[in-house]
Copies of this chain bind each other. A is one copy, B any other.
Amino acid sequence: MEQVAVIARARALFGASPRPLAFVPTMGALHAGHLELVRQVRPRAATVGASIFVNPLQFGANEDLVRYPRDLERDSLKLAAEGVDVLFAPDAAEMYAPGFSTSVDPGPLATVFEGAVRPGHFRGVATVIVKLLNVVQPDTLVLGQKDAQQAVILRKVLRELDAGVNLEVVPTVREPDGLAMSSRNAYLDTAQRTAAPSLHRALSAVLEVLERGAGKLDALAAGAKQLDASAKLEYLDVVDAEDFAPLERLRRPAFVIGAARFGTTRLIDNLWVR
């Protein structure tokens, strides 16, 4: 695996790589969910590229940018073991020169759910992804379903900007007790870790009630009951999988989505109903 930190060098390296080229952007702190993204596309891609970049633009002022887990050496070994060909791992100064002011704004979809709780988050995500795609120029962009709203927003942004890239969304990988894999799970203490799978149970309960034909209010009430008493629910809803518009009854494809705090740690999760 080649590892590069400089944009010009990455552009040259990816430009000379065999096609098709699949690209897996990450913020590092890699877990089995990230590695599953690589595994899904490795057999069909002549080149698999990945990036590790903890993107300051997508963190709010009171969020966990500084304490976000970073271990480039270990992450790099994991990606190499999965057969990644090129790893692009720039620092923030390489990506954002002094005076940087351009942003890619996805519009209204970026202001609901995760976007309502984290203002500016999806603008930061869209901006860095447009930059990364310009450097890497992949045929396929690989994203995880765990960040469902991110995937829906990026599909719209990339289609609307005519980015000419395929988007592949890979199902969420879970711990045996149902907890969705997330780099932020590392923040949980023992009690919080025990409580955390209740978010997945809440989503499952919502879906079960909806599948029986009930309306949303009943379903959300059943879901909320599953969440551990120590957790603080931020949102719980069922939305259209294409545009994240809230649904009153189940209509496929949909996402059942939820976010909750366990102590100071925010976790999100969703079920993809196809």
A residues whose Cβ falls under 8 Å from a Cβ of B: 7, 11, 97, 99-109, 126-127, 130-131, 134-135, 156-157, 160-164, 243
Task: List the B side residues contacting A130 at CB < 8 Å.
Answer: 130, 161
Q: Is the pair B160, A134 in contact by a Cβ cutoff of 8 Å?
A: no
Residue of B nearest to A11 (CB): B164
Question: Contact between A156 and B7 (Cβ–Cβ < 8 Å)?
Answer: no
**Partner among B100, B101, B102, B107 whose Cβ is within 8 Å of the Cβ of A102:** B107
Beta-carbon contact of B102 and A160 below 8 Å: yes
Could you say which of B103, B134, B161 contacts A105, with CB atoms under 8 Å apart? B103
* Chain B: minimal CB distance from A194 (Å): 41
Known: A11-B164, A161-B130, A164-B134. A102 touches B97 (CB 8 A): no
Cα distance A160–B126 in the bound complex, in angstroms: 13
Q: How far is the CB of A101 from chain B (nearest CB, A)?
A: 3
Q: Decide if B107 touches A103 in the complex (CB within 8 Å).
A: yes
Query: What is the CA–CA distance of A104 and B131 in the complex, to the nearest angstrom?
Result: 12
Residues of B within 8 A of A164 (CB): 11, 134-135
Cα A130 to Cα B158 with chains together (Å)? 11
Closest chain B CB from A138 CB (angstroms) = 13
In the complex, what residue of chain B is closest to A10 when comparing beta carbons? Answer: B162
Besides the known contacts A127-B161, A134-B161, 14 further A-B residue pairs in the complex with CB atoms under 8 A apart: A11-B162, A11-B164, A101-B106, A101-B160, A102-B104, A102-B156, A102-B157, A103-B105, A103-B107, A104-B104, A104-B105, A104-B161, A105-B105, A130-B161
26 contacts between A and B (CB under 8 A): A7-B162, A11-B162, A97-B160, A101-B106, A101-B107, A101-B156, A102-B104, A102-B105, A102-B106, A102-B107, A102-B126, A102-B156, A102-B157, A102-B160, A104-B104, A104-B105, A104-B161, A105-B105, A127-B161, A130-B130, A130-B161, A131-B161, A134-B161, A134-B163, A135-B162, A135-B164
